């Protein structure tokens, strides 16, 4: 009986915690996973397949214990996976920026309105000179539909992502791909987590409101919700987290986990108004 108990204990200890989802949430989560591997010997596998939508669906299908998402779980997600009791755990706050390549920024385009963003997305605005910039074709890279970044953008422009028209532009997946494509393409623009902006190869456009105010994705503007493309970052579990999933969630909500959130440019929970 003692040997059997030891075997069960060893199996529980060796159980793999599987995490998948948003490339945005992955930055602090990956560092948290590494710390827990080293300090507690936990077996943690973390991936970003399919972004936020992938995290939601894989949790719903029971393929992972934790999903990472930079968008809320919707009613249709809950309807699609009725056996999953989605619990959203808020771990930080981020913002989506409209990013442009250095030549666009240096050409004088520093801000954009919602109407101008819609014009680019729908293919009605095709040259930067229409926005006060240089005479150069706009190279728009659209985030893959379903990604948290895409949903924040389309919700801002259209009020509901379902109202966004289908478009035919080159698509980018994770944040690294979007940054690389825009940074390496003249006249480029895309949607990207603001924390990935380096102000060398890619720059974040300010958002010009209807009143003419230009709002930058600063910590204060994100915290106060003045910046219109702010978004919460979540860990998702099926019901209340337990076992190694709870260990991971508790770490992310604790002082060290929140420090990792801040390290990667996001707002900690304590910074939100």
Low-confidence ranges of the chain (pLDDT < 50): 1-13
Q: Is residue 31 part of a domain?
A: yes
Which pLDDT does position 8 carry in this prediction?
38
Both 88 and 101 in one domain: the answer is no
Both 159 and 206 in one domain: the answer is yes
pTM for the predicted model, two decimal places: 0.84
Beta strands in 164-216 (DSSP E): 171-172, 188-193, 202-208, 214-215
Which pLDDT does position 174 carry in this prediction?
85
Which pLDDT does position 92 carry in this prediction?
97
Tell me the C-alpha distance between 201 and 216, whole Å.
18
Both 57 and 112 in one domain: the answer is no
Residue ranges making up the domain that contains 194? 95-223
Which pLDDT does position 14 carry in this prediction?
56
What confidence tens digit (pLDDT) does each residue in 123-132 have? 999 999 999 9
Both 43 and 66 in one domain: the answer is yes
């895309």: which residue's tokens?
190
Both 217 and 99 in one domain: the answer is yes
Both 214 and 99 in one domain: the answer is yes
Which H or E run contains 20? strand 16-21
Both 183 and 107 in one domain: the answer is yes
Both 119 and 30 in one domain: the answer is no
Both 106 and 213 in one domain: the answer is yes
Q: Is residue 33 part of a domain?
A: yes
CATH of the domain at 55: 3.40.190.10
DSSP symbols for 125-164? --BGGGGTS-S-B-EEEEEPTTSHHHHHHHHHHHSSGGGS
Overall domain count for the chain: 2
């Amino acid at each position: 009986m003692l040997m059997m108990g030891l075997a069960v204990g060893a199996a529980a200890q060796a159980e793999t915690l599987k995490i998948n989802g948003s490339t945005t949430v992955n930055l602090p989560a990956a560092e948290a996973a590494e710390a827990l591997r080293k300090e507690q010997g936990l077996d943690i596998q973390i991936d970003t397949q399919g972004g936020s939508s992938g995290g939601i669906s894989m949790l719903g299908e029971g393929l992972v214990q934790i999903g990472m998402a930079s968008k809320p779980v919707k009613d249709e997600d809950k309807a699609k996976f009725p056996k999953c009791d989605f619990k959203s755990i808020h771990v930080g706050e981020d913002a989506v920026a409209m990013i442009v390549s250095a030549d666009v920024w240096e050409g004088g385009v520093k801000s954009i309105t919602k109407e101008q963003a819609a014009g680019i997305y729908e293919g009605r605005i095709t040259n930067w000179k229409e926005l006060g910039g240089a005479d150069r074709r706009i190279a728009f890279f659209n985030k893959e539909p379903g990604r948290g970044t895409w949903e924040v953008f389309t919700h801002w422009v259209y009020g509901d992502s379902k109202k966004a028209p289908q478009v035919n532009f080159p698509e980018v997946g994770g944040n690294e791909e979007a940054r690389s494509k825009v940074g390496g393409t003249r006249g480029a623009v895309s949607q990207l987590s603001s924390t990935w902006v380096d102000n060398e190869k890619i720059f974040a456009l300010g958002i010009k409101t209807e009143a003419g105010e230009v709002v930058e994705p600063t910590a204060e503007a994100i915290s106060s919700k003045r910046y219109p493309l702010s978004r919460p970052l979540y860990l998702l579990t099926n019901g209340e987290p337990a076992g190694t999933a709870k260990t991971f969630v508790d770490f992310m909500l604790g002082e060290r986990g929140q420090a990792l959130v801040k390290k990667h440019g996001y707002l900690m929970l304590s910074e939100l108004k």
